[in-house]
């Protein structure tokens, strides 16, 4: 099997895509957004509940590929406890970093988001990884 | 009877077809390319590439307006392409061929120049659930502007058009009926002869989207006798940026101009401007001359092989593909139409269409994954995307076998 | 000071320019070709021809929708072309570049998507008497549909725009001002900086027809700050069938779609369809991908020589041409503008423009004769046609000398 | 000088173009038509006076090239005395013949219209020669 492909579909990614965390709706979310990738039809809806300025929980519903699914699953876990501002900034940095071929993602060593690193070798799939993060930013800017 | 999965014989005149397409000699990710994305765009044979280079190296000039030799030659070559296309489609007259950028522009032209001026609030435009966005969105935009209504005929679960439903939606307020000849997404061949006849009986102008048929089967306009027919060159071995609208001369004659500018006018003053006859009336500005030259070369290429040979072989090959995919583990076909041409769509239990596409790509196999510009059709099947394999004359049974082997790898990785 | 008729020196970087253009090695009627019909269409350098062949031989695929390698490569190359063009014109952002078939389509797009929705009966569209039909007819068609009025600013006898008249026609009801940068028919360079500034002061959207300027001089969009600017690739060493509309992002954002179809939608259902952001919103259907690739190659070619070098040399060459023609027996220049670029138009006592064209053609000299898609301008000068010589970077003083010698033969035959 | 060019601009043709016959208007013509060649801007108006079914006189006004001028000049002379039907048929045959590269124009040996034969070697100029004949056919179909 092609080594780029192996790097793309790491075990962590496959685990998340088969068995995503926090899949489902939040009733009465404080923020939410539905985003679609017009190129392939992938669609994700992200829900956020906050306490004060902080994200208490994030959940999502999606019809999408494994990369988008894994990215969304990791997102919901990763942003819990962040302030809205922090998570927005983080999402922006991350989305930007995916499009920089030669710089590694700005993550601590043990961050499970590293599992998405392999996407960079597949330009046509980068949007799959960033779509949930774009949805997050969109949700933050949409007050319910 | 041959057994269901026996691969078709490649006919003699197609055995060397691959050699004419330089791109098929390329490797992708170290593997020889298996190109099964022909419904999106076909590859170009050397004679077409050469015709373009030759044009730019020997004849290039603006047309229709020059006395000098280059311009005369370019004009003659461009207009000869129109004649060749008219004969290829067996139109009544070459003035019925309007060159456009492709199927999309052709449909928009009909919307603007034919339909908009006669459309009243409450009038109806009829299409089917199988349509490409190109045969949906222009009508939606037009309905929004005019207060007309879009009516959509349903399909059956196997992907066949519900012909009776389509016919019964042809009402007294139907001002245009549009129908795709062959579905790019799931390969359904629609019985356009029946539909056209019914439309004529009810005096409803009918437009056929032939973007997925002109390259696979003989389309005989005099026999069909539809009002409009559209296609894109790039799906038929021709250059990008060229395609055509066929319009019955009596229809074209009634139509208002599309774009305004040079070459479509008879006479311009600031007070009053008059327009040329069709097809010039609809071809404002400098056209894609090299595109026309390449189009003619592609027709020569196709005709040298023979459309019947191509049609016969491709029918067998796409059946073989559908049979093999249907039998492949974890694969579910989307659409099993009674008549299929060109394409077969599927989903897998283990993997999303997008992931299938990526994994096959690393094997050198190019298919398309997504909604294929047919979101409503995807919605009809309750999915958002499929993987689609689509063929052209240069594909072989081995290409299909490679595809099926690639899907085994998908199962391996995701299963 | 050099004497009036002294031929300019060909700069070092242009000395070998002819060699890059295979068509210029051709003979016409046994004579080496002298191509002076560049305002109609320029010739293509080998790197552009090669880029097209290479694309079709190695990368051809439909774009924006595929996961496979060919499609990814084709998409990247096409979008890189957009970026390159944005930098060439110094746009603020590449999303301000909409690819079209050419200047004509670009203007029609603005008419449909920007102007039509906001135009009220009695509103005005302002243009000048120097315009090409492409910048007249779309507005006439629009006025007819909406009840708006076309206002036309006059010119002086020498072919200069009457700038004061143009400015004073910018009224409270002017909803768009259109102006050609350089006249294709008589070579006048308009002071667009002044006009754009005035339009901005009065909050009038302004469209510049740069079909005859982008190939001859540096056009800096951030400095100019117009709302729209259009041109055609084929007049700038690029393939046929490709061109662009520049639109300020704030304008494009407000505009309704042009053609409907694939690639311009965000999401389609039969109930509701949403559209992408600019520029995609205005690029329905499969675009002329190879055209974009060739466009990028042409920009590389031009930039390797340097736009300043080209501009400087061409200014001298066209002045030389005008001077020599003016002095030629029986020749009368049509238009002696203060600033000239690219073209010089003339008539002869002895022969009609058409006859001049034919006789020069037998000498291998290609010029254009006719109204140059500027019938109203011809009417302003009381004629129906001129002979026009127009230059590009590969022309030499010897080409001009050959033209003047050819005109002597005209006099001989008809005199 | 190029021999095709010499054939194109025969003396007869040049004579007619410099000094055309029947140039001018017919007041109250029985038939007339104004035709334009949109490619070059050439324009011709043809006037016809009839007696019964026969053409009594034909005149024209034009802004056009030498070939169109000569063709119009010869036309006015040639159709005098023909019936409308005859002249229409003749114009149709002639226009057709101009577009047939390898067949000579269907004319008697001493017909001065032979002077237009050379036009056939210049495809872009054929319309110049046929424009007056098209105007004739148009005029015949326009009753004043
Ligand atoms: C000034 C000007 N505007 C517009 C056009 C139209 O360009 P195109 O025919 O390529 O659309 C031309 C070309 O003839 C031109 O010279
Ligand atoms: C059935 C059908 N109609 C219309 C189109 C639109 O063609 P184009 O994008 O070349 O305008 C396509 C191509 O995707 C198609 O398959």
- DSSP codes, D41-96: --EEEEEEEEETTEEEEEEEEEE--HHHHHHHHHHHHHSTT-BHHHHHHHHHHHHH
Residue B232 Cβ contacting ligand 2 at under 6 Å: yes
Q: Which of D9, D39, D41 lies at the smallest CB-CB distance from C413?
A: D9
Query: Residue written as tokens 């989903």?
Result: B347
Q: What angle do CA B365, B368, B370 make, to 5 degrees?
A: 145
Average pLDDT, chain C: 96
Specify whether the CB–CB gap between C244 and C98 falls below 8 A.
Answer: yes
Subunit contact A65:B370, Cβ cutoff 8 A:
no
Nearest residue in chain A measured CA to CA from C71: A124
C107 CB within 8 Å of a chain B CB: yes
pLDDT at C2: 44
Please give the pLDDT value at position B2: 43
For chain B, give percent helix, strand, coil, nearest 5. 45, 20, 40
The two tokens of residue D33 are 């038509």
Q: Which of A7, A40, A123, A131 to mutate to test the interface with B (most CBs of B within 10 A)?
A: A40
Write the burial class of residue C331 (CB in 10 Å: 0-12 exposed, 13-18 middle, 19+ buried): buried
> Candidates C105, C211, C212: which one to mutate for ligand 1, based on the most atoms within 8 Å of Cβ?
C211
Hey, what CATH topology would domain D3-141 get?
Sufe protein. Chain: A (3.90.1010)
Confidence at C69, pLDDT banded by 50, 70, 90: confident
**Looking at the complex, does the CB of residue B198 fall below 8 Å from at least one CB of chain C?**
no
Select from C138, C243, C373, C392 the residue to mutate for testing ligand 1; criterion: most ligand atoms less than 8 Å from CB.
Answer: C373
- Shortest CA gap B20–chain A (Å): 29
Contact B261/C357, CB-based, under 8 Å?
A: no
Considering only CB atoms, B355 lies closest to which of A2, A43, A65, namely A65
* Dist. CA C211 → ligand 1 center (Å): 6
Q: Which positions in chain B touch D125 (Cβ < 8 Å)?
A: 67
C234 alpha carbon to ligand 1 midpoint, in Å?
10
CB contact (8 A) between residue D2 and residue C29? yes
User: Phi/psi at A33 (nearest 5 deg)?
Assistant: -155, 145
In this predicted structure, which of A35-44, A116-125, B286-295, C397-406 has the lowest mean pLDDT?
A35-44
Measured CA to CA, the distance from residue B372 to residue B389 in angstroms comes to 11
User: Between chains, do B60 and C49 touch, taking CB under 8 Å as contact?
Assistant: no
Q: Tell if the pTM clears 0.90, that is, is over it.
A: yes
Nearest ligand to the CA of B233 is 2
Tens digits of residue pLDDT in C118-147: 999 999 999 999 999 999 999 999 999 999
Summary mean pLDDT of chain B: 96
Q: What percent of chain D has pLDDT over 70?
A: 99
Q: Could you please report the per-residue DSSP string of B378-399?
A: HHHTT-S-EEEEE--TT--HHH
User: Inter-chain contact B358–A122, Cβ cutoff 8 Å?
Assistant: yes
B110-136 pLDDT, tens digit each? 999 999 999 999 999 999 999 999 999
Size (chain B), residues: 415
Spatial separation of the C-alpha atoms in residues B104 and C259, rounded to whole Å: 8
* Residues C49-303, CATH architecture: 3-Layer(aba) Sandwich (3.40)
DSSP 8-state assignment for residue B57: I
**What pLDDT, on the 0 to 100 scale, is given for residue B38?**
98
Q: What is the pLDDT of residues C84-99, one digit of tens each?
A: 999 999 999 999 999 9
Longest Cα–Cα distance in chain D: 48
Residue B3 has pLDDT above 60, yes or no: no
| Selected residue with higher pLDDT from D100 and B80 | B80
Q: Which of 3.40.30.110, 3.90.1150.10, 3.20.10.10, 3.40.50.720 would CATH assign to domain C12-32+307-414?
A: 3.90.1150.10
Q: What percent of chain C has pLDDT over 90?
A: 93
pLDDT tens, C146-182? 999 999 999 999 999 999 999 999 999 999 999 999 9
**Chains in contact with C, where contact requires at least 3 CB pairs less than 8 Å apart:** A, B, D
Active site residues of C: 373
Q: How much is the pLDDT for D1?
A: 62
- CA dihedral (B404, B408, B413, B415) in degrees, to 10, reads 120
Whole-number Å distance, alpha carbon B253 to ligand 2 midpoint, is 26
pLDDT band of D142, cuts 50, 70, 90? confident
Q: What is the mean pLDDT of residues D107-128?
A: 90
Tokens standing for residue C274: 């949403």
Sequence-ordered list of residues with C-beta below 8 angstroms from that of D106, at least 6 positions apart, any chain: D93, D94, D97
Q: Is the ipTM of this complex over 0.85?
A: yes
List chains adjacent to chain B, taking adjacency as at least 3 C-beta pairs closer than 8 Å. A, C, D
Query: What is the spatial distance between Cα D91 and Cα D83, in angstroms, rounded to a whole number?
Result: 12
Tell me, rounded to whole angstroms, the distance of Cα B210 from its chain centroid: 5
Q: Which pLDDT score, from 0 to 100, does residue C3 have?
A: 53
The phi, psi pair for C151, rounded to 5°, reads: -110, 140
Name the residue facing D43 among C351, C359, C384 (closest C-beta): C384
- Domain B12-32+307-414 shares a fold with domain B49-303: no
Which pLDDT tens digit goes with each residue over C320-344? 999 999 999 999 999 999 999 999 9
Pocket of ligand 1 (CB under 6 A): B 262, 285-286; C 39, 102-104, 132, 134-135, 180, 184, 209, 211-212, 232, 373
Would you say residue D41 has pLDDT above 90?
no
CB under 8 Å to B365, separation ≥6 — which residues?
B31, B34, B36, B402, B403, B406, C68
Q: Where are the alpha helices (DSSP H) in B55-154?
A: 69-88, 103-109, 137-146
Tell me how far apart the alpha carbons of residues C340 and C106 are, in angstroms, rounded to a whole number.
25
Q: What is the mean pLDDT of the segment spanning B319-339? A: 98
Q: Got the DSSP string for B200-264?
A: HHTT--EEEE-TTTTTTS---HHHH--SEEEEEGGGTTPPTT-EEEEE-HHHHHHPPPSS-STTS
Task: Give the helix/strand (H/E) hosting C167.
Answer: helix C163-168
Flag if B262 and C66 touch (Cβ within 8 Å).
no
Nearest to D122 among C353, C358, C370 (CB): C358
Domain edges within chain C: 12-32+307-414, 49-303
Q: Residue D38: its pLDDT value, please?
A: 76
What average pLDDT does this structure show over C263-281?
93
Q: Which of B40, B105, B134, B180 to mutate to test the pocket of ligand 2 (most atoms within 8 A of CB)?
A: B134
Q: What does the pLDDT read at residue A144?
A: 64
Contacts of B358 in chain A (CB under 8 A): 5, 8, 122, 124-125
Q: Which two tokens stand for residue D43?
A: 């324009």
In terms of pLDDT, which residue wins out, C8 or D123? Answer: C8
- What pLDDT score was predicted for residue B101? 98
| Mean pLDDT of all residues in C298-308 | 97
Contact list in D for residue B276 (CB cut-off 8 A) is 38
**Partners of C151 in beta bridges:** C126
| Phi, psi angle pair for B234, to nearest 5° | -65, -15
**pLDDT reported for residue B336:** 98
């Amino acid at each position: 099997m092609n080594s780029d492909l192996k790097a793309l579909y790491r075990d962590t990614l496959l685990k998340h895509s088969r068995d995503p965390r926090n899949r489902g709706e939040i009733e009465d979310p404080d923020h939410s957004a539905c985003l679609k990738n017009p190129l392939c039809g992938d669609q994700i809806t992200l829900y956020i509940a906050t306490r004060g300025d902080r994200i208490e929980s994030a959940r999502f519903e999606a019809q999408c590929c494994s990369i988008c699914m894994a990215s969304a699953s990791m997102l919901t876990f990763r942003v819990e406890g962040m302030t809205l501002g922090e998570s927005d900034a983080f999402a922006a940095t991350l989305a930007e970093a995916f499009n920089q071929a030669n710089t590694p993602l700005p993550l601590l060593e043990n961050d499970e988001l590293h599992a998405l690193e392999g996407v960079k070798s597949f330009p046509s799939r980068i949007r799959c990884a960033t779509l949930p993060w774009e949805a997050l930013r969109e949700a933050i800017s949409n007050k319910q | 009877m041959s057994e269901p999965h026996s691969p078709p014989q490649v006919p003699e005149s197609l055995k060397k077809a691959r050699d004419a397409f330089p791109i098929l000699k390329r490797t992708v990710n170290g593997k020889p390319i298996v190109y099964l994305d022909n419904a999106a765009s076909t590859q170009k044979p050397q004679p077409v590439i050469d015709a373009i280079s030759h044009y730019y190296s020997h004849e290039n000039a603006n047309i229709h307006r020059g006395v000098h030799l280059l311009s005369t030659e370019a004009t003659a070559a461009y207009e000869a392409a129109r004649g060749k296309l008219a004969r290829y489609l067996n139109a009544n007259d070459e003035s019925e061929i309007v060159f456009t950028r492709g199927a999309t522009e052709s449909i928009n032209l009909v919307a603007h120049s034919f339909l908009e001026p006669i459309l009243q609030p409450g009038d109806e435009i009829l299409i089917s659930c199988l349509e490409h966005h190109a045969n949906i969105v222009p009508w939606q935009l037009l309905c929004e502007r005019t207060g007309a209504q879009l009516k959509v005929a349903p399909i059956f679960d196997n992907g066949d058009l519900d012909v009776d439903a389509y016919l019964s939606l042809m009402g007294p307020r139907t001002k245009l009926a549009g129908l795709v000849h062959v579905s790019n997404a799931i390969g359904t061949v629609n019985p356009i002869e029946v539909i056209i006849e019914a439309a004529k009986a009810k005096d409803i102008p009918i437009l056929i989207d032939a973007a997925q048929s002109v390259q696979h089967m003989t389309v005989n306009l005099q026999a069909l006798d539809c009002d409009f027919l559209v296609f894109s060159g790039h799906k038929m071995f021709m250059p990008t940026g060229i395609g055509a609208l066929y319009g019955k001369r009596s229809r074209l004659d009634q139509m208002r101009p599309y774009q305004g500018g040079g070459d479509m006018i008879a006479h311009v003053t600031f007070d009053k401007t008059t327009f040329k006859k069709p097809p010039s009336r609809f071809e404002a500005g400098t056209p894609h001359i090299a595109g026309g030259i390449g189009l003619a070369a592609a027709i020569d290429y196709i005709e040298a092989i023979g459309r019947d040979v191509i049609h016969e072989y491709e029918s067998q090959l796409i059946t073989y593909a559908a049979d093999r995919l249907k039998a492949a583990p974890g694969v579910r076909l989307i659409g099993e139409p009674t008549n299929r041409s060109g394409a077969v769509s599927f989903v897998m239990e283990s993997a999303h269409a997008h992931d299938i596409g990526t994994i096959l790509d690393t094997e050198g196999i190019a298919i398309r994954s997504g909604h294929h510009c047919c979101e409503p059709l995807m919605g009809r099947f309750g999915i958002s995307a499929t993987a689609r394999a689509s063929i052209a004359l240069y594909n072989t049974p081995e290409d299909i076998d490679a595809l099926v082997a690639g899907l085994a790898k998908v199962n391996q990785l995701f299963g």
